[in-house]
Amino acid sequence: MNKIAIITDSNSGITQSEGKELGVVVVPMPFTINGEEYLEDITLTQEKFYEFLKDDSATVSTSQPSIAYVEDLWTTALEENDSVIYIPMSSGLSNSCETALRASQKPEFAGKVFVVDNKRISVTQRQSVLDAMRLRDLGYSGKEIHDILIETMSNSDIYITVATLKYLKKGGRITPAAAALGTMLKLKPILQIEGEKLDKFKMRNRTMENAMQIMMDACEDNINGYLKDLDGRCDNVYIAVAYSGTDKELPMKFADMIRERFDVSDVVVNPLSLSVSCHIGDGALAMAVTKELPEKYLKK
């Protein structure tokens, strides 16, 4: 059986300690804050990040990991493994994936390092890592795992409600006038991550309670719609909650609402990656639904 190393980045929401437990290497995403570089979950905690983000005098920006650092991880992994599966954040949301794809074509990595650009981030990216582990344990090769993850990349959705329009305004995703009007009307828009982009889903929403209902409605429509069309089933999906900030009370309440409505017991609750949180701010809440890998791949 081939020995395969799995590497992801911290946009997956997998912490350094969890990565060690899973046997997965996690590349920390870098941030530049007031001119100084920080690494997610190494020199930058969730708590410290949100202190900076809430400080209007602080300048906080995302960056991408050094490709030299990523290549060193690949080289080290290949010393004890036949191949490497690298699962970074969506190429539609960062240039780091495209940079890694080019690097994987170097002679020393070609045919050994497989970069999975399956347009995912946060809890759906995390599920890709778990799927890769499962496929590896079933005996699939590095290329086969890559191809299956690419084939199934569209079998998920994430919806996000923001608590404030401030950060969407700063990032240029909405105009200052729209932000001012939305703030006055106390709107809490719902955004959708569709692989290539973070875009609006519903803008006329007033309360977080209402937003949670809309997100559940959207996910239920997807479960009974295009996800069901894949195999005729509605019972083989993963449901997850993600959130920004350090207050877990609301996301845990949301998870309980989901368990009751969808009659499921396993709802993963994880922080949103700091890269996403940087653009949407504190207090955001997300719901994701991801289809389980096709049964034909689980029978090997």
**What pLDDT score does 161 carry?**
86
Cα 205 versus chain centre, distance? 24
Residue 34: pLDDT over 90: yes
- Distance of CA 266 to CAs 198, 237, 238, Å? 26, 10, 8
**What pLDDT score does 257 carry?**
97
When mean pLDDT is compared over 42-56, 90-104, 125-139, the highest value belongs to 125-139
For 205-235, write each residue's pLDDT tens digit: 568 888 899 999 999 999 999 999 999 999 9
Where does the pLDDT of residue 184 fall: very low under 50, low under 70, confident under 90, or very high at 90 and above?
Answer: very low
Q: Which two tokens stand for residue 65?
A: 């990991």
**What pLDDT score does 209 carry?**
87
Q: Among 240, 236, 238, 239, which Cα is nearest to 296's?
A: 236
Residue 113: pLDDT over 60: yes
What percentage of the chain carries pLDDT values higher than 90? Answer: 65
User: Among all chains, which residue has been given the structure tokens 């997807």?
Assistant: 222
Residue 195: pLDDT over 70: no
User: Among all chains, which residue has been given the structure tokens 């970069």?
Assistant: 115
Q: Which fold does the domain 4-29+64-151 belong to in CATH?
A: Rossmann fold (3.40.50)
Name the DSSP letter for residue 298: S
**What pLDDT score does 197 carry?**
53
Query: What is the strand order of the sheet 4-9 is part of?
Result: 25-27, 4-9, 83-87, 113-115
**What pLDDT score does 70 carry?**
97
Question: What's the mean per-residue pLDDT of the chain?
Answer: 87
CATH 3.40.50.10170 spans which residues of the chain? 4-29+64-151
Q: What is the torsional sign of CA 146, 85, 121, 104? A: negative
CATH 3.30.1180.10 spans which residues of the chain? 156-297
- Residues 39-64, mean pLDDT to the nearest whole number: 91
Residue 163: pLDDT over 80: no
**What pLDDT score does 56 carry?**
84
Encoded amino acid at 185, one letter: L
- Distance of CA 182 to CAs 158, 174, 187, 256, Å? 22, 10, 5, 29
* DSSP E strand stretches across the chain: 4-9, 25-27, 30-33, 36-39, 60-62, 83-87, 113-115, 156-161, 190-193, 198-202, 237-243, 267-271, 285-291
Q: Around Cβ 286, how many Cβ atoms within 10 Å?
A: 27
Which residues have C-beta within 8 Å of that of residue 241, sequence separation ≥ 6? Answer: 123, 251, 254, 255, 258, 267, 268, 269, 270, 285, 286, 287, 288
Residue 188: pLDDT over 80: no
How long, in residues, is the chain? 300
What SS3 string covers 188-228? CCEEEECCCCEEEEECCCCCHHHHHHHHHHHHHHHHHCHHH
- Residues 264-283, mean pLDDT to the nearest whole number: 86
CATH class in words for 156-297 = alpha beta
Residue 116: pLDDT over 50: yes
Inter-helix orientation angle 96-103/67-78, to 10°: 50
Query: What is the strand order of the sheet 30-33 is part of?
Result: 36-39, 30-33, 60-62
Residue 186, SS3 per DSSP: coil
